[in-house]
Amino acid sequence: MPASQHGQNLDIRVERLDDCTVLHLAGDLDFHGTPIFNAHIDGVWTGEQGPRIIIDLAGLKFCDSAGLGSLVYVFNQITSAKGRLILVAVPDYLRRRLRISGLDNHFESLDTVEQAVLEVGPA
């Protein structure tokens, strides 16, 4: 993968916790990283009804407009399937971008993965 101007890459680790799929992002969610992110989302979410996706952003260093677009894509896919998406450990710079764009009113966010898993509860 080519390096972006804001960082080297995007690393994604996927795990299952209870009935949730957790994606841990580290690096840059930018023009170069969004195809990888979208592929992971499409790979872990197979169109099932009521998917429970938690995206851990603690390791995210940068997110540009393409990254925001990918988060909106995921939000639309999950909510149309009557699922639930929770963002965790949203960095301050991204929280500010979400607020300025009005997207903060659409995304649920919590401080930790553990809180998100408890919030979602069993299927």
The one-digit pLDDT tens for each residue of the chain (123 residues) are 333 333 458 999 999 998 899 999 999 999 999 998 998 888 876 666 678 999 999 999 999 999 999 999 999 989 888 999 999 999 999 999 999 999 999 999 999 999 999 998 776
Tell me which amino acid residue 113 is.
V
Instruction: Quote the crossing angle between the two packed helices 65-80 and 34-44, to the nearest 10°.
Output: 10
Phi and psi at residue 7, to the nearest 5°: 170, 175
Provide the pLDDT for residue 47: 61
What whole-number distance in Å separates Cα of residue 85 and Cα of residue 53?
5
What is the spatial order of strands in the sheet that 52-63 belongs to? Answer: 10-17, 20-29, 52-63, 84-88, 108-110
Provide the pLDDT for residue 122: 72
Provide the pLDDT for residue 42: 83
What whole-number distance in Å separates Cα of residue 59 and Cα of residue 28?
9
Distance (Å) of CA 88 to CA 1, 56, 72, 79: 26, 5, 15, 17
pTM of the model: 0.89
Provide the pLDDT for residue 46: 67
Going through 30-116 in order, the beta strands assigned E by DSSP cover 52-63, 84-88, 108-110
